[in-house]
Structure 1
Amino acid sequence: MTETSQEIRVLVVDDSPISRKLLEHTLAEARYTLSFAKDGADALRLFAERPPDLVIADWELPDIPGPELCRIVRTKFDGAYTYLMLLTSNSDKKSIAEGLAAGADDYLTKPFDAGELRARIGVGQRVIEMHREIEAKTKALSLDARTDPLTGLANRRAVEEWSVKQISGAVRHGYPIWVVLADLDSYKPATDLFGHAAGDAMLQAFGEIIKKNTRVSDMCGHMGGDQFIFVISHVSRENMNLVLNRLRDKIANYDFFFHDVALPLFANFGLAGSEGGERLELRTMLQQADGALLEAKRAAQTPLSEMTVKK
């Protein structure tokens, strides 16, 4: 049995015995190893023993809400990737966005259709297996050949190799895929004012920010100079806006110091991709993302004179 064909360990978190039994029955014929928790505390205990591959959690748990459980898992168990799915009777878009922002990968409204649930879990399984494949191949490859020595992120070669496969999977299975190009526009002013050491330190800080805010199932990398890239899948366009806005907030609130001098970080982003079902090529997506990035830079127009130290 290969690494990617291992059984998927699924944890169901629901305080209702009827709901747990219904989920067990729905997934009985699939190749999953099921375990059950009646509340958030019980789920976290099982996580501490051995993190599952996929979690199906009710939004309304007796001790902590489902979104809060997602937030704790993403914070406390960030060493292992787990696909998180929320079940909710609430179809309000704002609430759903809250759950996704908390770290959930997907959601399903109740009462759910058994076929749709199995299909969505199938999507999660593909993401998990893709992650396993990436992890296995990463161990077998020379990290030096595919890692940017300055930021520690994937370099252009590694990003492009991974992206081609991810895009091929998106075209084949019809899931959303996005390429985001980011220019760290505070890099050149910092270098002009304080030298290349300041610019390098700023690139490293920015790399750390995006690494901490990129899911394990996605990819971020350093393309060279002041340009970075993200490749993100299984996220709608609407939620991509949430992802980028959250990242902008992280960058704006980051305290960057060079030789005890506080300097601002600012970046612009260009997005290109598809909600699914379109024929895509990495080269075309990069061109489109670069065009969107240029438009964003024209709209921002942060002049050099604004690159001043923080008070």
Structure 2
Amino acid sequence: MTQTSQEIRVLVVDDSPVSRKLLEHALAQAPYTLGFAKEGSDALRLFGERLSDLVIADWQLPDISGPELCRIVRKQFTSAYTYLMLLTGNSDKKSIAEGLAAGADDYLTKPFDSDELRARVGVGRRVIEMHREIEAKTKALALDARTDPLTGLANRRAVEEWSVKQISGAVRHGYPIWVVLSDLDSYKPATDLFGHGAGDSMLQAFSEILKKNTRVSDLCGHMGGDQFILVISHVTRENMNLVLNRLREKIANYDFSFHGTALPLFANFGMAGSEGGEQLQLRAMLQQADAALLEAKRTAQTPLGEAGQAVK
């Protein structure tokens, strides 16, 4: 079942047992999951526990009015759209305008006709599904804007936004945080010899190695070209060396080929960060990691050096 075709959760708010039964019977054959409340406070409690998609509320409730319930829902529950319908015995235009102004989407006068109720609830269902579709597309667009399309990793924008928050948290709470820059140095030779298809395949393979060997709580990103970044927290310097050693082994043992031709993967790493208790800024950490990366390239024969983390 797709997101837009999910069942609609309907909350009926009415202190009359007869009205509740009539509403239940009218919507029994439709694809709705029904919940019931006798008072506005009960409805808000249920709403807080699990958001309802559609609310059918009587105008006159023992504690608060239906319009007041609409105002509270519109003010307090904004994470998803809720379709609000009022049941009222008042058919004068002033009352209808009052209910709509309070946030109701529709109204139905009592005594209601079951066919009309189902038709109006059907309208609400279509509105809800439209909102779900818009929300899904908005989330997809937001994800696309922060994802590198070639590797599926976070792009530079997402890396910077996420890293600033992580570094701020590390400074505030005193836990370790590290920024690791990596150059996939085998990318350019592969591209020069076999074209961009080989380079792209190599970038994708390297991305998979990074993703599979870092925790979901950490960040892998593609900064562009052959440069990647890891942002890792709550790990000591000693254990960071183990992390990079494991990456070295995975890279060395990776069987990469392009159109039947075996090609080696080799990369260098530069690390900067703190085990806690230091004032840190992303820009400075990136500069330090880049300097360590250059040093690692210069002394690539050293598997793990203090200045830089070399993997080749």
TM-score w.r.t. structure 2 length? 0.51
2:240 counterpart of 1:229: no
Runs of 4+ residues deviating >2 angstroms: 138-141
Deviation at 1:214, TM superposition (A): 1.3
Partner in structure 1 of residue 213 of structure 2: 213
What SS class does the counterpart of residue 142 from structure 1 fall into? helix
Tell me, yes or no, if structure 1 residue 272 matches structure 2 residue 290: no
Distance of 2:194 and 2:294 partners within structure 1: 26
Percentage identity across paired residues of the two chains: 88
1:275-294 → structure 2 map (5 Å cutoff): 275-294=275-294
Q: Residues 232, 141 of structure 1: CA spacing in aligned structure 2 closer, same or farther, 3 A cutoff? A: farther
Q: Which has the higher contact order (CA 8 A, sep 6+)?
A: 1
Q: CA deviation at 1:139?
A: 5.6
Show the counterpart of 1:260.
260
Task: Give me the CA root mean square deviation.
Answer: 1.7
Shift of 1:142: 1.0
User: Separation in 1 of the partners of 2:178 and 2:141?
Assistant: 25
Q: Distance in 2 between matches of 1:292 and 1:139?
A: 37
5+ residue gaps, structure 2, are 1-137, 302-312
CA distance in 2, matches of 1:264, 1:224: 21
Q: Note the residue ranges of structure 1 that are not aligned, 5 or more in a row.
A: 1-137, 302-311
CA distance change for structure 1 residues 263 and 234 in 2, over 3 Å: closer, same or farther?
Answer: same
Q: TM-score, normalised by structure 1?
A: 0.52
Distance 2:226 2:205 in 1: 12
Structure 2 counterpart of 1:157:
157
Counterpart in 2 of 1:199?
199
Q: Give the partner amino acid of 1:265.
A: L
Q: Could you say what secondary structure the match of 1:300 adopts?
A: coil
- 1:34-76 CA-to-partner distances (Å, cap 9, x unmatched) read xxxxxxxxxxxxxxxxxxxxxxxxxxxxxxxxxxxxxxxxxxx
Question: How many residues are matched?
Answer: 165
Partners of 2:289 and 2:141 lie apart in 1 by: 29
CA change 1:255–1:267 in 2 (3 A) is same
Q: Residue by residue, what CA displacement relative to the aligned partner does 1:180-213 show, whole Å, maximum 9, x if unpaired?
A: 0000000001011111110011001001110111
Question: Aligned with 1:193: secondary structure?
Answer: helix
One-letter identity of the residue aligned with 2:145 = A
Q: Match for residue 174 of structure 2?
A: 174
Tell me the distance in 2 between the aligned counterparts of 1:140 and 1:204: 21
Q: Output one character per residue of 1:131-162: Cα deviation in whole Å (capped at 9) or x when no partner.
A: xxxxxxx9687111000011010000001100
Q: Name the SS of the counterpart of 1:270 in structure 2.
A: strand
Bigger Rg, which one:
2
Q: Which amino acid aligns with 1:152?
A: G
